[in-house]
Amino acid sequence: GVQTRSYGQRARNAKNPAAKTLLDTMERKKTNLAVSVDVTKSEDLLAIIDAVGPYVCLIKTHIDIVEDFDSTLIAKLQNLERKHDFIYFEDRKFADIGNTVALQYSSGVYKIASWSHITNAHVVPGPSIIKGLASIGLPLGRGLLLLAEMSTAGSLATGSYTEAAVELARQNQDFVIGFIAQRRMEGLGAGPEEASDEDFLILTPGIGLESQGDSMGQQYRTPRTAVLESGSDIIIVGRGIYGSDPKAIDAISGKARRYMEEGWKAYVERLV
């Protein structure tokens, strides 16, 4: 397995404010669960976030799938953030030139940078995408995740592409706080005997306890495999929690609690 320092120790060393808040929240609430709430009605989005809020460190959104979006939704999301003590990750997967992504991140209908503490980007364009997003996000204390790997069958983000993503992160440690990946890539620090103060968060989607995948290429692994065997820091769970019925709020709370317990147990085992 992969060893790392505790979330609390890592929070104390974190320089990026979003990374620090996230790690502090994980330690305080004893959870490494992020819930991905991919529903199309704002009423369902808010109800699910309210139900899973006690069990998460992070809520992941795809704000552009909400059919009835209006700007009052953001204030409601922020009320839930205060009520339950978590932060937001808008899973925007930016992928354009620096100037364009800066506009997409700051402007338009969603004004992502104004409310989302963390967002992510593909590294296809090279270093300029980080420069563009940092021009908006850094002054606001935001953090960026790079897509180093994907959970889907046949993903092209492997080998030298993944290595190049790690290299880009190393060159931008003020803003890049970690990766979307299936494992802690070799040499990525955060170990107990690690001398360097380099520390990247590994967030892993494609997590499910009951299912192996879906009909569109998604592949699931368990919280235990991701956290204990692969060194992931945060498990991202979507349909495994709300999938059977987005209106069954009690069942959703129960499942979130179960994933939280599985993820935390694997983390505690990794520490010793």
Catalytic residue among 20, 24, 29, 91: 91
Phi, psi of 119 (to 5 degrees): -140, -175
- Binding residue for ligand BMP, selected from 31, 36, 104, 119, defined by CB under 6 A: 36
Interaction between residue 39 and ligand BMP (CB under 6 A): no
Interaction between residue 263 and ligand BMP (CB under 6 A): no
User: Locate tokens 């919280």: which residue?
Assistant: 223
Least distance CB 192 / ligand BMP (angstroms): 28
Interaction between residue 31 and ligand BMP (CB under 6 A): no
Amino acid making up residue 13: N
- Active site annotation includes 50: no
* Helical ranges in the chain per DSSP H: 7-13, 17-29, 42-52, 72-84, 98-106, 112-115, 128-137, 159-170, 223-224, 239-242, 249-271
Whole-number Å distance between alpha carbons of 252 and 241: 6
Interaction between residue 178 and ligand BMP (CB under 6 A): no
Q: Say if CB 162 and CB 149 are below 8 A apart.
A: yes
| From 125-133, 134-142, 192-200, 230-238, span contacting ligand BMP (CB under 6 A) | 230-238
Hey, what's the torsion of the CAs at 70, 71, 72, 75, to 10 degrees? 140
| From 14-22, 232-240, 251-259, 261-269, span contacting ligand BMP (CB under 6 A) | 232-240
- Binding residue for ligand BMP, selected from 25, 104, 151, 253, defined by CB under 6 A: 151
Q: Say if CB 170 and CB 148 are below 8 A apart.
A: no
- Active site annotation includes 174: no
- Active site annotation includes 197: no
Residues with active-site annotation: 91, 93, 96
Binding site for ligand BMP (CB under 6 A): 36, 38, 62, 91, 150-151, 180, 205-206, 218, 236-240
